[in-house]
Amino acid sequence: MVVRLTVSVGWSLAPGRVPEVIRGFHATEADGVWHLYRSLRQITDPRQRAIVFAHCLEEEAHADAFAQTYAHYGERVFTPVLYERKALYAEGTPLWKTFAFVHVGEVDATQRFRLLAAALPAGALKACLRTVVSDEEGHVGLTSNMILGMGASQGQVRREIVRVRLVRLWERWLRVGKRVVDTLASALLSVVYFAFGLLLRGAARRRLAAGFVAHDNNSMKHP
């Protein structure tokens, strides 16, 4: 219901929001590629390296697909979101934890993209999301198998996934909080601007009138 309301009401009232959402999708996929490529440095098993490399290629294809889809909705040339990337875990942390983080991201992305594709009308974004979802569904099982193949127990995986979800929930809360604070600050500044504008309107008019009178007097003295 939330997704359908967002698409039918929110995006309809603010169509300029859609290109920014697509840029966000591109950033998410590109960020996943960055972390996967970093993990390749630590993988020695040839089969696992081949699987992860193929995964990287598909994620890059998704990012490119979103960049191309942007052209159907954005009035400007597509520019990727720029921000500083950081490693998910400290040096020396077992590699399977990175894939646990990626796994949670794949699960969430699959669900979100599937719901959006179902709610959107026919168009470039709907077609793009459907293609991405078909790949992401395979990535969910792939990352799960990679975690277990790296020696993690079921209990360790469950605990790490819970931790990852809590971290993601906290980060989402911070993002929402920032948007709320920014909105409230903008509303408050608008109220202050118009309130002071009404209070100072009379004084401003008198000052302008006095300036015109002084100008006219000077003109009479110095024809």
The closest alpha carbon to 60, from 34, 85, 84, belongs to 34
Q: What pLDDT, on the 0 to 100 scale, is given for residue 152?
A: 84
The overall pTM is greater than 0.75: no
Phi-psi label, residue 123: left if phi above 0, alpha if psi -120 to 50, beta otherwise: left
- The Cα–Cα gap between 8 and 198 comes to 38
Is 2-152 in CATH node 3.40.50.970? Answer: no
Tens digits of pLDDT across the chain (223 residues): 877 777 777 777 777 888 889 999 999 899 889 999 988 888 888 999 999 999 999 999 999 999 999 988 878 888 888 877 888 888 888 889 998 998 898 888 889 899 999 988 888 999 999 999 888 888 888 888 888 888 888 888 899 999 988 988 887 777 667 666 666 677 777 777 777 667 767 776 777 666 655 555 555 555 5
Q: What pLDDT, on the 0 to 100 scale, is given for residue 109?
A: 87
Residue by residue, what is the 3-state secondary structure of the chain? CHHHHHHHHHHHHCCCHHHHHHHHHHHHHHHHHHHHHHHHCCCCCHHHHHHHHHHHHHHHHHHHHHHHHHCCCCCCCCCCCCCCCCCCCCCCCCHHHHHHHHHHHHHHHHHHHHHHHHHCCCCHHHHHHHHHHHHHHHHHHHHHHHHHHCCCCHHHHHHHHHHHHHHHHHHHHHHHHHHHHHHHHHHHHHHHHHHHHHHHHHHHHHHHHHHHHHHHHHHHHCC
Q: What pLDDT, on the 0 to 100 scale, is given for residue 180?
A: 64
Triad 126, 35, 19: Cα angle to 5°:
30
Name every residue whose Cβ is closer than 8 Å to that of residue 106 and which is 6 or more positions away in sequence: 136, 139, 140, 143
Identify whether the C-beta of residue 99 lies closer than 8 Å to the C-beta of residue 150. Answer: yes
Identify whether the C-beta of residue 22 lies closer than 8 Å to the C-beta of residue 73. Answer: yes
Identify whether the C-beta of residue 120 lies closer than 8 Å to the C-beta of residue 69. Answer: no
Identify whether the C-beta of residue 97 lies closer than 8 Å to the C-beta of residue 160. Answer: yes
- Tokens linked to 169: 């929930």
